[in-house]
Amino acid sequence: MSQTQLTMHQVIEEMETYLNETEVTYKSIQRRSDKIYERTTRIIKAVFSLIGLLLLLNIYFIHNFGEEIFSMLGSMNDMYNHFGNMGTQVQGITQSVEKMSSHITVLPSMSASMDSMNNTIININSNVHIMQKEVGYMSRDIGLINHDMLDMTMRFEQLNESMHDIGKSVHTMSRVVPHL
């Protein structure tokens, strides 16, 4: 029996040695795992911070671009009003030239010049009306661009919210990963 007790004692010592070695190995693996976990968490946070910063920059630039579009719309409206005033003034000049033409019929050469001037002013009036219409089209197109810019701004805000939600999910998942 003494030999059996000796063998049991040896087995217990070997098991204790094995368990101690296993514990040391486990602690070493745990330390490495903790370091990897910390590095991974820092990298993920840095990447999401960078993405968030880029999204904020995009929103800032889109906001500034939207302000410029509003300014351009104001200028287009002013130009449209100016062309309207020019059209009215050209019509007044046309009427004055027609009146002068009818009074100067006694002077044939001057009458021909006045008729030519009247035709030129009529052409100018026609061109002003064409320009008014084109400015109206441009104003409409700028309005469409403005609408699209507002839509893009809303989409970037939604994207920013989604990135924030993803960041929360990654943070939650990183807490769920077991530490070895």
180 contacts: CB under 8 Å, gap ≥ 6: 26, 29, 30, 33
Split at pLDDT 50, 70, 90, the class of 25 is very high
pLDDT at 16 over 70: yes
Q: What is the largest CA-CA distance in the chain?
A: 154
pLDDT at 15 over 70: yes
Average pLDDT over residues 37-58: 87
Q: Retrieve residue 70's tokens.
A: 């509003």
Q: Retrieve residue 132's tokens.
A: 């008014």
Task: Give the pLDDT of residue 163.
Answer: 80
129-166 per-position pLDDT tens digit: 888 888 888 888 888 888 888 888 888 888 778 888 87
Task: Give the pLDDT of residue 168.
Answer: 81
Average pLDDT over residues 121-131: 83
- What long-range pairs does 158-165 form, CB within 8 A, spacing at least 24? 159/55, 160/52, 160/55, 160/56, 160/59, 163/48, 163/51, 163/52, 163/55, 164/52
What pTM was estimated for this model as a whole?
0.43
